[in-house]
A = this chain, B = another copy of it.
Amino acid sequence: MIEAIGLDADDTLWENETFFRVTEAEFTALLADHGDAETIASRLYDVERANLVRYGYGIKGFTLSMVQTAVELTDGNVDGRTIGRILEMGREMLAHPVDVMPGVVKALEGLQERRLILITKGDLMDQERKVAASALAEMFEAVEILADKTPEAYSRVMNTHDIAPERFLMAGNSMKSDVIPVLQIGGWGVHIPHGLTWIAEHADTPDHPRLRELATIGDLPALVAELEASA
């Protein structure tokens, strides 16, 4: 009944949001003369949101948004050294180590009888780097890096891999990106909340018969078996 399982990567298989938060804190400290941390973080968020449509998700767009926020917040008076430091912060993010989260390897081992597809969004090169560094690639049949996790993008993945949506289950930490669009195309959605999730990824929990919530990815093999048994 569940033939293929999609797994989100950032904050589902490995830590990610924490690197953005650490960098954001450093960014607000760098510009502390121009406002309190909360105000600066809020300005940055507004710039990021407005830029999503052109930059998409990922560290390069985030870095460009930090630079833009610094220019706007200082009315063009930011100095070049501060800009240089922001660029460096972005490059440090692109080099951060990949911390596979507890329970992930065991959960993936317990799901090897299904077709597993890693489905993530963000910068192509950075996501490929993280997949390689995680050493998890061989546990997946395929890796799909999407510009955005829309219902249309998930449908394309279903077509590419010849999967019927009703036999597809997607698990991840973002209700907005990993769960709702998959429910919309007729698949199963499993929400595995992470303590840190970007506000732009938040969405209300819908009331839906094909939605499940898990405390940890470690519970996923048992859930899949249970769904299978009750089918």
Contact = CB atoms under 8 A, between A and B. Distances in A.
Interface of A: 54-56, 60-61, 63-64, 67-68, 70-72, 74-81, 83-84, 87, 90-91, 94-95, 123-125, 128, 142, 145-148, 160
B83 A71 contact: yes
A122 B178 CA distance: 24
Contact of A71 (B56, B70, B84): B84
A98 to B, nearest CB: 15
Contacts of A83: 67, 71, 78, 80, 83
When all copies of this chain in the complex are counted, the total is 2
A94 B51 CA distance: 11
A231 to B, nearest CB: 30
Given A67-B87, A79-B80, A83-B83, 8 more contacts: A54-B91, A54-B94, A54-B125, A64-B90, A76-B80, A76-B81, A80-B83, A124-B147
Given A54-B95, A124-B147, A146-B124, A70 B80 contact: yes
A55 B58 CA distance: 11
A135 to B, nearest CB: 17
A167 to B, nearest CB: 20
A40 to B, nearest CB: 15
A24 to B, nearest CB: 18
Contacts of A80: 70-71, 74-79, 83
Nearest to A68: B87
Nearest to A128: B147
Contacts of A74: 80
Nearest to A153: B128
